[in-house]
Structure 1
Amino acid sequence: MTATLARPATHTRVLVDTAVADDVAALRELYRAVYGDCYPLRLGTCPVAMADAMADPTVQWRVARDLATGEVVGSALLRMDMPLRIGKVEGIAVHPDHGGAGIAGSLLEALMEPAFGAEGPLESVYATARCVSPAPQRLLLRHGFHALGVLPGAVTLREVETLALLVRYRDGIPAHRRAPGTVPREVAPLLEAARGHGVDFDGLQVATELVAARARTDTDLEVSHDAGLVLDRYARATSGAARTLPLHRPNTLLMTADGRFEAYAVIDAVAGSGLLLDGCSSPEDPEEALGGVLRAMADRGASYIEAVLPLHDRNRIEQHLAHGFTPTALYPAMRREDGVWHDYLLLCHTSARVDADALDVDERFSPYVRQHSHVRTPVGPDPSDTVK
């Protein structure tokens, strides 16, 4: 069943309304016109996944139709995690022949207004935007999103590309956030960049000592991609605990033969990326197999691996830093527990080399880009109004 807009948004040239199954073929052609044959998301390439999303009440998919011809000339969707009250904007695309007419902005507001309205279900929405042109970043910035970091080598299209992270909040958020305490000094430049955009971190202290080197065990791991097994084990592993990360279900289980350590991940070999999720591990050394996890994920196509950790959890942050992760972005007030908002830190592990000088970003991302001035990456084509 497809949700409908109570009051469809209009534009001088287009009508914005709800995508339906009959739009799948036209939407695939739209994404092909914008990205060629390198679009990495199934919600733009796989007809079954697209039709399923349109029938999913936690997905809002809007299209822009040319008023004269009825042709689909724009698309955007919002995926929602209702328990965590977090959403993600994906797939904003406007046909190259219709750029510059404000269509992308109309699509975006058609998603944001009901999400943050009086009866809206969300507290925050995040999005990523390509860094080969400032246009997609500025689209989001114009519509209330805030610059919070860059993710080097986060996606593979025709080439490895860096993405910008942006977040928009419901009015009044963030507020009453937990003090992060002491953080490793490697995180300090990221926090200073966020402070420059008005994000306060009351009570924050930066550790002066170096992160201690930790022993790297060469742990052998068994890996399963069996969907039923992975989801069943993950449900048991996280039973009774609130999920940390929204909008993600694992497709990979990594575990030692004796069962003392298990980890869960999302691997997207097409996009060349992976995400570490919560799981269970040995109580004696909770990160004893982290090196093995990284190797196993890389062997299965995840050249970029991301972890999202509470900003106040210095121990886990240091463990990840010791294994080659880099702080890349912040998500202030990502979760609320017992009436208090908690900030989260995004870290990435990547072999990509990023040329920070070659990235084409809005000036509000410059402080975040400077953190990666030592790495290099190739620059891709110059799209307009496209948001991953």
Structure 2
Amino acid sequence: MSVTITPAVLQDIADLRQLYFDVYGHGYPVPLGSDPAEMRRLITDPHTHWLVARCPDSDEPAGSVVVQTDPGTRIGKLLGLAVHPAQRHGGLAGRLTAAACADALATGTVNSVYATVRVVTEGPQHVVVRNGFRPLGLLPNAVEVAGCESLALFVRYADGVLEQRETVAHVPEPLAPLLAAAGHTSDVDYAAARPVETPGTGPSSGSSVPATTAMEIVTARSFVRRRFLEQFPDPADRFFPLHSPNAILTPEDGTFEVYADLDPAARSCSLIAVHPYPAAMAHALEPLMATVIRTGADYVETLLPLSDTAGLGAFLTAGFVPSALYPAMRRIGDRFHDYVVLSRTNRQIDFRTAAVSPLVRPYLSAYLRAWTATYLPLHEVVS
């Protein structure tokens, strides 16, 4: 059956909610498929490209996709791709993906678009690759959908962006497998990045602060947002695209404030920024993790520049594992800088049911090597 692809309008909200229910049931953790207020906001947002595939006879949605963009960071995110079960196997997912990305990139205000793709089946991974996305990592236990699931990271770039990347001379040694995987699958060259030792890596080393250290959490969303803007008035200091903090974690003495995006539905947490500077919390990552876990989040991630060897080392010491790369993520001056996603999960990782496509398998191998080096020291494995 032929369909037409047009922008979403407010009158579509009820039908779109039904579409996402038909595809995902009650397990879809993203508000754009279930929360009418959030759907209304996105449909009317000039920086969001929401397209709907419509059946010609009934005008009911056969599929939907969104590219949400952040004009400040010039980054977009592909999300909400859904095709009605009756319309599958006809290439509609690819058509929607192509159309939404074309709309976003045609504005000239977006340097890259990323997607985090479920790995319960290989199909969605192939859809994004056929539309110019490069595989760049694996995020184990990153989301709660139909149980705990892992995601794969893919990125598509505007013309010429990758050619303007800033070179990094040194990286912590635990990142070497991840960089090698990127070179193998996505032709991103890290030959100039020399691995260096990061002292004290591993979940049990380096921290003199016990896990029982008192850590407070503030979850008043409006207050957190105002405080975040007061502490980081310069937009250049609050780089975590398409994430806004809704919680503050701080010790009782207030020596630092960690701004986080807690997602109860997905049982995940993103650590967005630290005031006054990231190293201020390096000694307290363990009690901070314990506090986050008590909120119900089983997956915690953070985003750091590939060039920030000290910051990366602090998180590696606290048991975070390098999970994904985002080359040319941020433009500073006339050069683009690479970033790294580091993650830590509180649940046992089970890849037995994951459908990891061949292009993503090098990242699975890289993650397993890094996880083993962090949590299974060589002397324990040998003995």
Structure 1 length normalisation: TM-score?
0.90
Superimposed CA distance per residue, residues 344-367 of structure 1 (whole angstroms, 9 cap, x where no aligned partner): 000101023333354212100110
Native 8 Å contact 1:184 1:211 kept in 2: no
Which residue, 24, 29, 33 being the options, matches 2:22? 33
What amino acid does structure 1 have at the position aligned with 2:322? P
Which residue, 213, 217, 226 being the options, matches 1:223? 217
Native 8 Å contact 2:114 2:156 kept in 1: yes
Using the alignment, how far apart are the partners of 1:50 and 1:32 within structure 2? 14
Q: Which has the higher helix share?
A: 2
1:134 positional shift: 0.6
Native 8 Å contact 2:178 2:367 kept in 1: no
Q: Which protein has greater RCO, CA pairs closer than 8 Å, 6+ apart?
A: 1
What amino acid does structure 1 have at the position aligned with 2:117? A
Using the alignment, how far apart are the partners of 2:88 and 2:240 within structure 1? 34
Superimposed CA distance per residue, residues 61-119 of structure 1 (whole angstroms, 9 cap, x where no aligned partner): 111000122111100001110011000010100000100112112211221112222x4
| 1:1-388 equivalent positions in 2, closer than 5 A | 13-117=2-106, 119-197=107-185, 198-208=187-197, 210-212=199-201, 213-218=205-210, 219-242=213-236, 243-281=238-276, 285-373=280-368
Native 8 Å contact 1:167 1:331 kept in 2: yes
Using the alignment, how far apart are the partners of 1:97 and 1:286 within structure 2? 51
Using the alignment, how far apart are the partners of 2:4 and 2:78 within structure 1? 20
1:284 positional shift: 7.9
SS of the equivalent of 1:43 reads helix
1:178 positional shift: 2.0
Native 8 Å contact 1:265 1:274 kept in 2: yes
Using the alignment, how far apart are the partners of 1:68 and 1:150 within structure 2? 41
1:315 positional shift: 0.7
1:216 positional shift: 4.0
- Output the aligned Cα RMSD: 1.9
Using the alignment, how far apart are the partners of 2:189 and 2:343 within structure 1? 23
1:285 positional shift: 4.2
What amino acid does structure 2 have at the position aligned with 1:215? S
Superimposed CA distance per residue, residues 46-74 of structure 1 (whole angstroms, 9 cap, x where no aligned partner): 11111111111121111100012211110
| Stretches of structure 1 lacking an aligned partner (at least 5 in a row) | 1-11, 377-388
SS of the equivalent of 2:326 reads strand
Identity of aligned residues (%): 37
What amino acid does structure 1 have at the position aligned with 2:206? R
What amino acid does structure 2 have at the position aligned with 1:113? A
Using the alignment, how far apart are the partners of 1:19 and 1:325 within structure 2? 39
Distance change (3 Å), C-alpha of 1:220 and 1:63: same
Using the alignment, how far apart are the partners of 2:136 and 2:279 within structure 1? 35
Structure 2 length normalisation: TM-score?
0.91
| Stretches of structure 2 lacking an aligned partner (at least 5 in a row) | 373-383
What amino acid does structure 2 have at the position aligned with 1:47? P
Using the alignment, how far apart are the partners of 1:282 and 1:25 within structure 2? 45
Aligned length: 364
Native 8 Å contact 1:179 1:202 kept in 2: no
**4+ long deviations beyond 6 Å:** none
Native 8 Å contact 1:355 1:373 kept in 2: no
Using the alignment, how far apart are the partners of 2:53 and 2:170 within structure 1? 48
SS of the equivalent of 2:339 reads strand
